Amino acid sequence: MNYELKTAKTAGFEMDYLKFGSGKRTMVILPGIALSSVLQTAPAIAEAYSGFADEFTVYLFENRKNIRKGYTVEDMAEDAAAAMKDAGIEKACIFGASHGGMVAQSIAVLHPEIVEKLFIASSLSRPNEVFTGNLEEMDRLIKAGTLEEMNHFFFEHVYSEEYIEKYKDVFDFLAKMGTEEEVEKFLLLIDSCRNFDISDRISSIKCPAFAVGSKKDKMLTGEATAETAELLGCGYYLYEGFGHAVYDEAPDYKDRIMVFFGRS
């Protein structure tokens, strides 16, 4: 699958993104938070979503470069909308995963004119007790200087036990990774999650929307997905198995996205 790595440049910031596909419609992917840039795995992402390439031109946007203390999810939504404009995107079907789902909801509230459809993956509209506890533990582990332990905690709450066992060597290798700059950015992103709450404005979203999660989601619970859908007034589906990153694990997940977005 051919792809391009590009950079959106606005008056206030730069944001890297991945672009592939040749379809007439536009799909935007907003990923969850991670210690390292997801664009390091650009070939794998393009291949994983190659089934969308004929129907859509697909974009995956990272967070802006050099994020600052106090950077909120709403700030991220404003920046993502500006980056989409710089990339020439007028309207898109948006797939937001985890933290990216928070950003996607915020875009749909702040800039409804650019959202055709909204697919919310393993996300929430306000923090719950489980999610807040996990954020605090990751924050504590990082500040205690136990980055490898934090990475393992993160993996164990994002992926199912079966998935971790299958790719154990990869996760053991990744657990040792993380630069000082990446850790600092990760802590700022944790703060943005901690302060996120769009529950009182989510009902203003009028575009077609759908939410999918997992009943075994250890990061934020399946109930969070259900609550988000209920506040939004849209349909939802909860997998019986898999983990928080069910969007990476379930073999039929991308089919669900395509069915919801529809074909022209």
Per-residue pLDDT of the chain (264 residues; tens, 9 = 90+): 899 999 999 888 999 999 999 999 999 999 999 888 899 999 999 999 999 999 999 999 999 988 889 999 999 999 999 999 999 999 999 999 999 999 999 999 999 999 999 999 999 999 999 999 999 999 999 999 899 999 999 999 999 999 999 999 999 999 998 898 999 999 999 999 998 999 999 999 999 999 999 999 999 999 999 999 999 999 999 999 899 999 999 999 999 999 999 976
The pLDDT of residue 150 is: 95
The tokens describing 36, both together, are 């390292």
3-state secondary structure the chain: CCEEEEEEECCCCEEEEEEECCCCEEEEEECCCCCCCHHHHHHHHHHHCHHHCCCEEEEEECCCCCCCCCCCHHHHHHHHHHHHHHCCCCCEEEEEECHHHHHHHHHHHHCHHHEEEEEEECCCCCCCHHHHHHHHHHHHHHHCCCHHHHHHHHHHHHCCHHHHHHCHHHHHHHCCCCCHHHHHHHHHHHHHHHCCCCCCCHHHCCCCEEEEEECCCCCCCHHHHHHHHHHHCCEEEEECCCCCCHHHHCCCHHHHHHHHHCCC
Those residues with Cβ within 8 angstroms of residue 232's Cβ, 6 or more apart along the chain or in another chain? 105, 120, 125, 202, 203, 205, 209, 211
Strand 14-20 to 3-9 pairing = antiparallel
Cα gap 104→117, rounded to integer Å: 10
Tokens 């989409």, residue?
84
Distance of CA 145 to the CA centre of its chain: 26
Q: What pTM value is reported for the model?
A: 0.96
Nearest-CA neighbor of 9 among 74, 57, 65? 65
Cα gap 205→203, rounded to integer Å: 5
Residue 200: other Cβ atoms inside 10 A: 10
Phi then psi for residue 196, to 5 deg, are -85, 130
The pLDDT of residue 264 is: 66
- The answer to whether the CB of 232 falls within 8 A of the CB of 203 is yes
